Structure 1
Amino acid sequence: MRALLPLFLLSAAAVGVEIALTRFFAVASFSEYGYWVISIAMTGFAVSGVVMVLGRDAFLRRAATLLPALPLAMLVAGAAGWIAASANPFNPLELQNPATAWPQLENILGYYAALFPFFFLAGLAVSLNFVARPERIGLVYGYDLLGAGAGAVAALLLMLVLHPFLLVPALLPLLALATALAGGRRWRIAAVTVLVAAEAAVFAFAAPAVSQYKPIYAPLNVQGGQVLGEWTSPRGLYQLLDNFTERLDTDVTNNAGSMGMPAPPRAYGLYRDGSRIAALPMRLPVEAGHAPGALDAAPYALLDAPRVLLLGAAGGFRAAEALALGAAHVTVIEPEAVLRDALRHGLGPVPAMAPDPRITLSDAHPLRAAGRFDLVDVSGDFLSADDQNRHAYTREALAARLAQLNPGGMISIPVSIRELPAYAVRVIATAQAALRLAGVSDPGAHLAVIRSAWNLRVLVAREAFDEARVAKLLDFAEARSFDLSWAPGLPPGREVWNELSAVSLDSGGVDSGSGSSADAVAEEAAALLSGTPRQDAFDRSPLTADRPWLSPLVRLPAVGAAIERMEVLPQPEIGLLVNVAVLAQAALLALVVAGLPLLARGSLRVRPAMMGRALVFFPALGLGFLMVEIALIEQAALLLGDRTAGFALVLTAMLVFSGLGAVLAGRVANPGRALRIAALLALVLGVGAAFVLPGAVAAALDLPFAVRAGLLVLALAPLSLAMGMPFPLGLDRFRQEGAALLPWAWALNGAFSVVATPLANLIAHGIGIAPLLLAGAACYLAVALAWPRSSA
């Protein structure tokens, strides 16, 4: 066991650095580029298996030297890679311009060149441990997984106290400790010397910084601007800014002056990972004189003293606005933890929300709010304030809110149309589906759509809009130069105050629509609600509990057109193209690794039938484990109300319990029987999770956080134990057919793990989370079928 402690430590360092690098990309770039880190890591592991196959005998002869040397080499590579990655001038926005795209492609290759050596050496060290200790494969794999779980926990704990740019240097000492434990006195001296030199180089030459295209960059650099506070946590890096550009970001009529209304007030800006999530008030009482001129006031013009359920408080501004617009009572739900604490206790110079008997700050989950309301009002920044808030936009969530409305009540849903009108159409389609789910036969009669040039509100009414309400809404819009894009019985020939052209990949750019109205949303809403929705490159299907993502909108068959016309796409859509590119690269790598026996020219010395079984067994494990893991992370994020917490708990629990399963696999008397039981148990539990987990998660949302986390771990334990057994059992079984199969199996598993991550994301976004779980579970059926029945 002592001999395997270095493996435990280097695995912890590898996973910890991987997580730390994803945080680096989230702060310095956009979070979707964290996929590269996963891809680079798994590519390094896969290539290390290829190298081990081709040079197995040479590595074995030098194992005594390599086992302490590889962690030290990882330390050097990790420091050098971090310095190079932090200096990379990558700008994803330039990918959208053909004239500037090529240098950015070179920068992407620069990330691979910087980070690949570290993960290649990590994979080489792990595979050498397998090759050097073939009789203890279960124990070796168990220490590998347990170390990885410990590394995930270490990275998350460090996020509580360290800036994201300090995480990688903080994890490098684990590798020096691994070398010190694996070697003698000279190795310990070398470990200390190299660690000191590497850390000195990191702090002297690494220059991680927020790039100039991030939303926070400009306000950070305006004259007189100040950072009033900075808080770090696993949820993100929070920064509170004060400068002359920070105001309440809300759509107000251009006629505010003639209507005697003030402009939206100055505010502090709260940013998370470089993106603005809210404006926070500078003083009490919160100013709301602008409220009657705001687009958000539209539903209040139709309701008399409504009881309001407010999803998202916009730092307290929205509650004040609702009261100024005549609300009798406002129940506020703010899911984002830092914003909720700011309302209760203040944040730095930001005052806490003043006590008011007309306002109730609820701790309920947005999907579990109880009570009866006249208006469910979603704040304009609700969707961007927290990743999990997207679940409030689904068909099922809207149908539940409709059931809570009093007679005459309605839901008001904001959508940004700054970049793609199709986002609004997708929300309209979701509202239409929710109304049908609630038993409404003519959804169009219950919908109204009002917009400015930049934002839009979809109003979903419990009862059909009558002529009087439509007239009131039209008067409200025209008095403020807003546009009423849809309402039942809307008179034709209206003047469009804010022209809005359609964005089309089919025509290669922006067009003015099919008619003369110059209102793309009006045209698309009319077509959608009449049963003839527009069919093009963009997906306008409703958001559902199983597919709760508003973006990306580009359909997979239209990826080619999207690549050609990247300049017309907003940033959220580029993540899909990155995902497809990573998948293409991963598939190429998997083909190369799968064809390794041809490159090795018979050095594997294994029967073709056995190679065929290995080509099913180990790729299925690589695909299945990560597909199930990614699906469970999505459900856990909803359960815990935080994607980081969900990711951390699922990753740690699965690694730890899979590690225990691997250790258990090394002690079974009948490997074949144990393998079949474990694989079929993984299949049954995975299929059961696909059907049972969504309802169980929804039912548990109101429980205390500790109880939800405990229930999640209990649910993960049996599945993870079962999923941890097949890989070491397979390594041991296939090794009996030929020793060189062991590193090839490691390479196959790594290569198809690279494929699994982007493939899983495409399946989840394109088909759903439940189908992803079913696909991952089905891989374990393939594992059971591919198991060699005998060694004869």
Structure 2
Amino acid sequence: MQSLIPLFLIAGAAVGVEIALTRFFAVASWSEYGYWVISIAMTGFAVSGVVMVLGREAFLRHARWLLPGLPVAMLAAGGAGWIGVTLNAFNPLELQNPATAEAQLVNIALYYAALFPFFFLAGLAVSLNFVVHAGQVGRVYGYDLLGAGTGAVAALLLMFLMHPFLLVPALLPLLAVAAVIAGGARWRAAAVAVLVATEAAVFALAAPRVNEFKPIYAPLNVPDSRVVAEVLSPRGVYQLLDNFTERLDTDVSNNAGTMGIAAPPRTFGLYRDGSRIAALPMGQPSAEHARASLDAAPYALIDAPRVLSLGGAGGFRAAEALALGAAHVTVVEPEPVLREALLRGLGASPAPAPDPRVAVSAAHPLTVPGRFDLVDMAGDFLGADDQNRTAVTAEALARFLSQLEPGGMVSVPIGIRELPVYAVRVLAAAQAALRLAGVADPARHVAVIRSAWNLRVLIARDPFDAARVERLSAFAEERSFDLSYAPGLAMEGREVWNDLPPVSLESTMVEQGGAAQDAVAREAALLLAGTPAEDAFDRSPVTADRPWLSPLVRLASLGAALARIEILPQQEIGLLVNVAVLAQAIVLALVVSLLPLFARGALRVPAPVLGRALVYFPALGLGFLLIEIAFIEHAALLLGDRTSGFALVLTTMLVFSGLGAMWAGSVAAPGRALRLAVLVALGCSVLALFGVRGAVLAALDWPWALRAALLCLALAPISLALGFPFPLGLDRFQQEGPSLLPWAWALNGAFSVVATPLANLLGHGMGLSWLLAAGMVCYAAAALAWPKERS
């Protein structure tokens, strides 16, 4: 029996390189462009299946040399593709300028040209193994999935040891090993020679770099800039910068000088994957600027508060709170590198000196015990870690409200320099939170204060009375901040210090007038009155089921978004990337579905069987990824880290699905086994649909290892069940015609391309629950499409 270890290594290398390329885009460009890698990979797999359908007999005749030859070809293609990717001059900012967009579209096409050959050859190698071992479909599929899971783990472990720009060269040797095992002496020599030549070319010609538009680029290239510390992990590449441009990023009044208040201090800048996530102190954190900052607003309303600070801002937030009169500060810092900096320092930045009035809590923000007068979110909290977004969901804000003492409040920051509507979504979440807390009239419990660039939503346990509104007005007036909303505050005739005109996709011009405007004031009044504005932007509350503040553009307004793309911020471009990838994926899926049907003699099976196959295999490709992506989002909250959540869900589902596929190869009654597997998968999905949120919240304070074990234990049954349908279907459908086997592989791959962008759009637009529900529908459809038994 021929060894399937080469297939295991090929699958591992393909998935490992795919993950490595997504990390490359995150560091060198924006993480949104990692969708392209997934799209290119699955496109390669899908096209390879079509080619195998059309040339099945020829591939079988030459399988003896193709089995070792394909990994050697992959090795060369992988090295060439990596060189091409790193030399690509793509600049995403130029996509937003019609004059420069055409050149960037060419660069996107060059990414596809560079990477497609590698993934096409990988798909060809896998589909050839299916054809050669047609009698062992379950075993082949199992080795494929187990190899893919192992490759994912290998890539993630390597991230602890090396920079993402070195990951692809580090993973390519797996292909040489595959060729050595699959072939004879000549292939062994060829594999070693190609490996040496490829690695030499990669290190001589590849030029991975951080693009000029990344926030780290300018400070990294100012005179005398130094990287004083670096941390490598799957979460990202952390770099601590020392240069004259790095200052504490806080919103301070223009009147600070006349108030006799010092400017914010110089700091180190901490960057993750090229984006600044915090300022770290050069000595002990200074708070001389605190009284002039926008963040001081709630401290003007509460005397000597006990504070729960979400995010430590490198130690500055606790120092500021104490300077503003806090009696005690409990700091919760979910981001692990920032938490380590608070406790032990980072590089040249020392840890803040111990203070009996300050406690650093390891609890998750959603499970911190105790009662507080103020729950105060640090200004950089939302940008410091992807998972921090869950703290501004309506459910999270309602929990914080439940922890307040009488007179207490929650203070939530949001940037408005790009789109004021982000503040409106936070305000909508605050309104929903107050309703969850049993407040009949939320409009009496919120106030909004802002500068030109940032805003604070203050959510009070008790209604704002006239005295508090007057104190807040005086605070804003002294510092030239704008009080955009407070109960009973008249908007008409009020002087606006910081002009904030509304931004609209429907208009080609920003509204201008003689007087300064306050777009947030207009929006807040409408929202809290129950009549929110309706246009291209989504103003619904952020919820646990839809925990994303962006994108804001409604799918129905994509045309307007494309017409005004130059005004959209980076976080909105991800939506357009998703839609573009989805459109491309749908075209590919149609081609893969229909092309073999028009190739004379390629598929010699009855039309009813083709119809069932056109339902069965696309449903599996869609269903598996829809369920997987939903679990990845829940796992990210459970583990406090998207990368860990992604890695553990991907590995667990691939490994247990691989075991299920191997088990499927030995069942005596495939139809009954399929129905049982689908019932198990549907039952697990229903349990997750109604119970996953509560289970995650209940486990958030467990040790990380226990949470990871819980996740694996919860995913094992459904993953095992999901491993059955594909090999069972391959085996059953090929009985109608051997040519169906590679076509089925192509269909599964093509609709997997569709699944990733579709899942992102569906999750952001409708919620995570809809992903699970859609996945369940797909598997039910597959069960109904199972071929009728022959009489």
Q: TM-score, normalised by structure 2?
A: 0.99
Q: How far apart are the structure 1 equivalents of 2:532 and 2:71?
A: 58
- Aligned-residue offset at 1:340: 0.2
Alignment partner of 2:3: what SS? helix
- Aligned-residue offset at 1:705: 0.5
Matched ranges for 1:2-21 at <5 A: 3-21=3-21
Contact 1:509/1:565 (CA < 8 Å) preserved in 2? Answer: no
Q: Does 1:288 align with 2:281?
A: no
Counterpart residue type for residue 370 of structure 1: P
Q: How far apart are the structure 1 equivalents of 2:231 and 2:26?
A: 15
Q: How far apart are the structure 2 equivalents of 1:785 and 1:353?
A: 63
Q: How far apart are the structure 1 equivalents of 2:475 and 2:741?
A: 72
Q: How far apart are the structure 2 equivalents of 1:603 and 1:205?
A: 42
Matched ranges for 1:138-217 at <5 A: 138-217=138-217
Aligned residue for 2:343?
344
Alignment partner of 2:503: what SS? strand
- The farther-off stretch of 502-511 and 44-53 is 502-511
Aligned residue for 2:320?
321
Question: 1:461-500 CA distances to partner (integer Å, 9 max, x unpaired)?
Answer: 0111111100000000010000000001113311100000
Taking only aligned residues, the RMSD between alpha carbons, in angstroms, comes to 0.9
Aligned residue for 1:398?
397
Question: 1:405-460 CA distances to partner (integer Å, 9 max, x unpaired)?
Answer: 00000000000001000000110111011111111111111110000000000000
Q: How far apart are the structure 2 equivalents of 1:137 and 1:117?
A: 25
Q: Does 1:304 align with 2:322?
A: no
Aligned residue for 1:69?
69
Aligned residue for 1:550?
549
Aligned residue for 1:460?
459
Contact 2:625/2:756 (CA < 8 Å) preserved in 1? Answer: yes
Counterpart residue type for residue 351 of structure 1: P
- Aligned-residue offset at 1:531: 1.4
Contact 2:546/2:767 (CA < 8 Å) preserved in 1? Answer: yes
Q: How far apart are the structure 2 equivalents of 1:163 and 1:193?
A: 26
Q: How far apart are the structure 2 equivalents of 1:141 and 1:320?
A: 57
Counterpart residue type for residue 71 of structure 1: P
Aligned residue for 1:683?
682
Q: How far apart are the structure 1 equivalents of 2:2 and 2:329?
A: 61
Contact 1:219/1:243 (CA < 8 Å) preserved in 2? Answer: yes
Alignment partner of 1:59: what SS? helix
Contact 1:486/1:525 (CA < 8 Å) preserved in 2? Answer: yes
Q: How far apart are the structure 1 equivalents of 2:31 and 2:129?
A: 34
Q: Does 1:366 align with 2:369?
A: no
Q: How far apart are the structure 1 equivalents of 2:512 and 2:81?
A: 48
The 4+ residue runs of structure 1 with deviation greater than 6 A are none
Counterpart residue type for residue 393 of structure 2: T
Contact 1:737/1:791 (CA < 8 Å) preserved in 2? Answer: no
Counterpart residue type for residue 124 of structure 1: L
Aligned residue for 2:673?
674
Q: How far apart are the structure 1 equivalents of 2:180 and 2:639?
A: 39
Matched ranges for 1:697-736 at <5 A: 697-736=696-735
Q: How far apart are the structure 2 equivalents of 1:625 and 1:115?
A: 24
Matched ranges for 1:213-252 at <5 A: 213-252=213-252
- Aligned-residue offset at 1:600: 1.4
Question: 1:140-178 CA distances to partner (integer Å, 9 max, x unpaired)?
Answer: 000000000000010001001010000000000000000
Alignment partner of 1:253: what SS? coil
- Aligned-residue offset at 1:602: 3.6
Q: How far apart are the structure 2 equivalents of 1:414 and 1:791?
A: 65
Matched ranges for 1:459-498 at <5 A: 459-491=458-490, 492-498=492-498
Counterpart residue type for residue 346 of structure 1: G
Contact 1:690/1:771 (CA < 8 Å) preserved in 2? Answer: no
Contact 1:402/1:411 (CA < 8 Å) preserved in 2? Answer: yes
Question: 1:722-780 CA distances to partner (integer Å, 9 max, x unpaired)?
Answer: 00111000000000000100011000000000000000000100000011111112211
Q: How far apart are the structure 2 equivalents of 1:580 and 1:173?
A: 35
Aligned residue for 2:124?
124
Question: 1:568-600 CA distances to partner (integer Å, 9 max, x unpaired)?
Answer: 100100000000000000000001111123321
Contact 2:364/2:701 (CA < 8 Å) preserved in 1? Answer: yes
Contact 2:497/2:516 (CA < 8 Å) preserved in 1? Answer: no
Aligned residue for 1:538?
537
Q: How far apart are the structure 1 equivalents of 2:360 and 2:603?
A: 66
Counterpart residue type for residue 148 of structure 2: A
Q: TM-score, normalised by structure 1?
A: 0.99
- Aligned-residue offset at 1:694: 1.1
- Aligned-residue offset at 1:619: 0.2
Q: How far apart are the structure 1 equivalents of 2:563 and 2:495?
A: 35
Unaligned 5+ segments in structure 1 are none
Question: 1:671-729 CA distances to partner (integer Å, 9 max, x unpaired)?
Answer: 11111111121122112211111111111101110000001000010100000111000
- The farther-off stretch of 93-102 and 590-599 is 590-599
Percent identity, aligned pairs only? 74
Question: 1:31-85 CA distances to partner (integer Å, 9 max, x unpaired)?
Answer: 0110000000000000000100111111010000100000000000000000000
- Aligned-residue offset at 1:516: 5.8
Alignment partner of 1:69: what SS? helix
Aligned residue for 1:579?
578
Contact 2:498/2:516 (CA < 8 Å) preserved in 1? Answer: no
Unaligned 5+ segments in structure 2 are none
Counterpart residue type for residue 167 of structure 1: L
Alignment partner of 1:375: what SS? strand
Contact 1:314/1:381 (CA < 8 Å) preserved in 2? Answer: yes
Alignment partner of 1:595: what SS? helix
Contact 1:684/1:777 (CA < 8 Å) preserved in 2? Answer: no
- Aligned-residue offset at 1:2: 5.9
